[in-house]
Amino acid sequence: MTQTRYVRWFNELRLVDVPLVGGKNASLGELYAACAAEGVRVPNGFALVAAAYREALAGAGAEAKLRALLDGLDLTNMAVLSERAAAARKIVYEATGGQELRRQIIDAYGKLQAENGVGCAVAVRSSATAEDLPNASFAGQHESYLNIRGDDGVVEACRRCFASLFTDRAIVYRVNNGFDHFKVALSVGVMRMIRSDLGASGVMFTLDTESGYRDAVFITGVYGLGETIVQGQSDPDEFYVHKPTFKKGYRAVLSRRLGKKQMRMVYADVRTGETTHEFPVSAEDAGRYCVNDAEVLKLAEYAIDVEDHYSKLAGQTRPMDIEWAKDGDDGLLYIVQARPETVVSQRAIDSFTTFGLTGTGPILATGRAVGERIVTGKVRVIANVHELGSFHPGEVLVADTTSPDWEPVMKTAAAIVTNRGGRTCHAAIIARELGIAAVVGAADVTQNLKTGTLVTVSCAEGDVGHVYEGAVAFETHQVPLAGFEHPKTAVMVNLGNPDIAFRSSMLPNDGVGLARMEFIIGEHIGVHPMALAQPEKVTDPAARAAIAKLVAGYAHPADFFIERLAEGVGTIAAAFYPKQVIVRLSDFKTNEYASLLGGGGFEPKEANPMLGFRGASRYAHPAYAAGFALECAALRRVREEMGLVNLCIMVPFCRRVDEGKRVIETMAAHGLKSGDNGLEIYVMCEIPNNVIQIDAFSALFDGFSIGSNDLTQLTLGVDRDSEIVAFDFDEADPGMLEMFRLAITGAKRNGRHVGICGEAPANNPEIAKFLAGLGIDSISVNPGSLLRTMQLLREAEAKG
């Protein structure tokens, strides 16, 4: 009698073999057989076909026993669910112990040993036949086993994988997603283990997992085996690479964030009876990235190649979820799994719902934001899986970390907050899939938050998520995109926070009319530029120590400033690429500069900083020239190394024509010359003299952006921050309307671009109509005002 061939090697499999070996193993076959030929390094292995599972159960008469356990099962009764699931696993485990299946597993493992050495370690992973399809993901539902060695060890791990089709979480998942238990079978993949326990590993996506922005590769990594990322035990390093410029030949990391990488999982000595064990990462190792820039770029190359291959097969862009590993022995990078991303990429973008806080309150915890939502609820601290029965739907689940066994409860939570984890940990993945807010890696929340406390969880403020005390007021706006029409006037975005750039770029827009450099310096660097350009002049011991800690690992303190500023500006430019992004050079006032770390000794004390040493007056002045050189170096990196030539530079608060000439000359000396590689240099039109001498300024600059706030203050002679005279601050004053008219017609007369980057058009429909009637080229407003401004302009244009 002919025996069924239960083994298929990876080079025999393709994506079309999902019915044969499940989605995970079919994808491994596609990677090994096709992508490896394109230069993507993939370790070899084999799969046990789903028929092995089916025939084993049929031979043991197991289906009737399993139906008796599962039919009518009450999923809300956790105790009964756990008992029945354990009984089902025992049935499958016993059924898959046949001699023929064992023989074929041992023979195949023997061939892997011939390739890689006697007793080589393998990873044994489950692959359901409906797994990893574009509309369903069973990721994390079934078991995987690492560092498996020897014939008996491999056979045992395979049987346990088969049995894991009936874990508690897998049963619940199938019921909730409409899968018939008996129409889903399990295949098992056996792959050579990469010695990432001696190197590093992680997960990467070919889109941003929060916003759904598709032009970036998002890479996470930790030391050792990557299980600590998914399990939430380690806060990983994070990197972004911009795909469009990468494909044009630019090789630069767009941005990076150093993770804490608390734990390292490594292979255990098999004689101990364990396959892996964990130990804390040293402070020295945690203080540096687990992979270098060259390795990040190689991973990005692999990710783009894999996405391109799978997209070609699908006939449409197919964002991918990819696991990678760095072998500590050979130093090489490997792809060990790839599957279509099935959460963010499947969202129907037929409308935008935005959340925004309108109130405030004491901050109880901060961490990594997941979900871009805001929710209020009562805290329920859960110490372990045995306490899940006390959780009530609608509460905020607070835990050290989560695991797949928690999922039945997680789906009822208003929000999730964890001590540990990054944006690709289990809690983050499930929160994203369920569409709920999560704050992960918020250290010590299980100690600092108490059950029953009312909190507001906000993930709508950028990369950092906050847990506020009490019910903090917030608002939501839903804007349908069906039939959405852009006005004739370009509507751009004012932005300073790189953390919300990807999300903001998903809104209808015409680019960025104002990217505020000072926000990036203040929030993402925090150090006075001169303190990094001339650190020897910082006299305060506490400031010197704090700066030394920040710049540790950099060859020069100035390198820290250049890298961080380039990443912040570059992220905004990349998010809106290839649309124009206008970045305004730093425009702090002296009192604001002095508040930066190390800044006190570099700034004069002024009675009226609003009219003092600010904007263009600083850039060529000896008191700030060295700091301005760092700003220019960062902008050159964005344009030349990152390839983001959509970046335009704008000079703020330029009082006189001669001052403008000095700034232009200084920028050229630093390698930023108007016209080179398409560079345009604009100037803020915010001082009456800019309007009066618009022809002379037009001879120097390529365009103008009207700063309505300062222009109104200086035209009307009123301080809008003064409680006594603020009522006289009126951007619709006839004098101001004439200023707008003169600025716009003057710029047009000289063939120069002219826009406005104040909120006046968003707040006053009459101003919007007036500007549109004058033919202003662009109006730039905050993201929250973007769609409302477009509507106002469409109405104004319709009325003529």
For residue 12, name the pLDDT band (cuts at 50, 70, 90). Answer: very high
Q: What is the pLDDT of residue 86?
A: 93
Amino acid (1-letter code) at residue 538: V
504 phi, psi to nearest 5 deg: -65, -35
Instruction: Please report the DSSP string for 431-444 in residue order.
Output: HHHHT-EEEES-TT
Alpha-carbon span 542 to 540, nearest angstrom: 6
Q: What is the pLDDT of residue 138?
A: 53
Active-site residue identified among 161, 425, 654, 757? 757
Pairwise pLDDT comparison (272 vs 122), residue with the higher score:
122
Q: Are the CB atoms for 230 and 140 separated by under 8 Å?
A: yes
Q: How far is CA 421 from CA 137, 219, 239, 260, 375, in A?
A: 21, 15, 16, 9, 20
Mean pLDDT of the 300-326 span: 95
Alpha-carbon span 107 to 102, nearest angstrom: 9
List % helix, strand, coil for the chain (3-state, nearest 5).
45, 20, 35
Q: Are the CB atoms for 418 and 400 separated by under 8 Å?
A: yes
Residue 521 has what DSSP assignment? Answer: I
Active-site residue identified among 181, 309, 426, 524? 426
Pairwise pLDDT comparison (275 vs 461), residue with the higher score:
461
pLDDT at 131 over 50: no
Please, what is the angle between helix 765-773 and helix 786-799, to 10°?
Answer: 60
Mean pLDDT of the 106-126 span: 94
Q: For residue range 330-347, list pLDDT tens digits in order.
A: 999 999 999 888 777 776
pTM: 0.84
Q: What is the pLDDT of residue 711?
A: 94
pLDDT at 531 over 50: yes
Helix, strand or coil for residue 670? coil
Mean pLDDT is lowest, of 69-73, 404-408, 778-782, for 404-408
Mean pLDDT of the 619-646 span: 96
Amino acid (1-letter code) at residue 259: G
Q: What is the pLDDT of residue 721?
A: 67
Alpha-carbon span 131 to 337, nearest angstrom: 13
Pairwise pLDDT comparison (750 vs 227), residue with the higher score:
750
pLDDT at 370 over 50: yes
Judge if the upstream peptide bond of residue 578 is cis by omega within 30 degrees of 0: yes
Q: Are the CB atoms for 591 and 599 separated by under 8 Å?
A: no
Q: For residue range 555-614, list pLDDT tens digits in order.
A: 999 999 999 999 999 999 999 999 999 999 999 889 888 889 999 899 999 888 888 899
For residue 196, name the pLDDT band (cuts at 50, 70, 90). Answer: very high
Mean pLDDT of all residues in the chain? 90
Q: In which order are the strands placed within the sheet that holds 7-9?
A: 7-9, 45-48, 186-192, 122-128, 144-148
pLDDT over 70, % of the chain: 96
For residue 140, name the pLDDT band (cuts at 50, 70, 90). Answer: low
Question: On the CB side of 625, how many CA atoms lie within 13 Å of its CA?
Answer: 9
Helix, strand or coil for residue 246? helix
pLDDT at 433 over 70: no
582 phi, psi to nearest 5 deg: -100, 110
Comparing CA positions, the residue from 23, 43, 47, 46 lying closest to residue 35 is 43
pLDDT at 358 over 80: yes
Residue 290 annotated as catalytic = no
Comparing CA positions, the residue from 656, 652, 737, 717 lying closest to residue 692 is 656
pLDDT at 216 over 80: yes
pLDDT at 1 over 70: no
Mean pLDDT of the 232-255 span: 95
For residue 483, name the pLDDT band (cuts at 50, 70, 90). Answer: low
In this structure, which long-range contacts are made by residues 149-157, counting pairs with CB atoms below 8 Å and at least 24 apart in sequence?
149/119, 149/120, 149/121, 149/122, 149/270, 150/119, 150/270, 151/105, 151/106, 151/109, 153/270, 154/105, 154/106, 154/109, 154/122, 154/124, 154/190, 155/102, 155/105, 155/106, 157/124
Amino acid (1-letter code) at residue 711: L
Q: What is the pLDDT of residue 132?
A: 44
Instruction: Please report the DSSP string for 770-788 in residue order.
Output: HHHHTT-SEEEE-GGGHHH
The structure tokens listed for 260 are 């804490």
Residue 757 annotated as catalytic = yes
Mean pLDDT of the 709-731 span: 82
